Amino acid sequence: MKINAIIILLATCGSCRMEEQQAKVDAEVKEVKKSEKNIPERFLRIDGTVDTLRSYELGNHLFGKFFRQRAEFYVIENPNKTLYNHPVRSITLYFLDGMLAKTKFDLENDISDDLINSYGAFTIKGYDTITRKLLKTEKVVEARQDKKVLNKNLINYQLKWDRGTKFIYARVDKSRLKRRFEYIEAIKDYNEKYKKAEAL
């Protein structure tokens, strides 16, 4: 009877150890899967320098090369990243002639208020008649509890900040079922450079 109890106990302990080891392996696999999408900050920095190494390292996220390979686009889905504590759905990196010229973050939520409080004065553009009318008839920004907040009646707009060598944009469209919340950084002459690459 005691021998049977000892055998059962040993089998149970062995089973516990196997479960612990499996749980450890599962945790390590999860950590690898999670960390695979960690995007180094240097890949996202618009700094005006030519760095083709970044585009080579991002090869598995390549969306396509265009205009005789002068333009390269990379899309990283579900990155392990947040902006102002809001999850990022995807990041699109736009390289022109080997230089990271633009980044676009597709977000879960609107971060307009966070950006206003971080960067201050901005310009705003309305993309529908309701928003354009509100810009003429209502306050764009209000002070609330020592913070500035954007008028919540604005539904389809773009905010823009001049940050020296680059522009920062918040593009928001709450008029459709799938809402659009984007944070964009681009070198100031991005559009001109893109058009030149396209024309060749």
Judged against a pLDDT cut of 50, whether residue 16 lies above it is answered with no
Judge whether residue 173 has pLDDT over 90.
yes
Who contacts 64 (Cβ-Cβ below 8 Å, separation ≥6)?
72, 73
Q: In this structure, are 123 and 195 located in the same domain? A: yes
100 and 179 belong to one structural domain? yes
Low-confidence winner among 46-60, 111-125, 139-153, 155-169 (lowest mean pLDDT): 46-60
Clarify whether residues 141 and 80 are in a common domain.
yes
Structural domain tally of the chain?
2
pLDDT bracket for residue 48 (50, 70, 90) = low
Same domain, 133 and 167: yes
Among 25-29, 74-78, 102-106, the least confident range: 25-29
> Are residues 18 and 61 both part of a single domain?
no
Are 100 and 172 in a shared domain? yes
Domain that includes residue 17, residue range:
1-36
- pLDDT of 109 reads 94
Q: Which residue has the higher pLDDT, 97 or 55?
A: 97
Both structure tokens of 31:
């950590």
Task: Give the number of other Cβ atoms within 10 Å of residue 187's Cβ.
Answer: 20
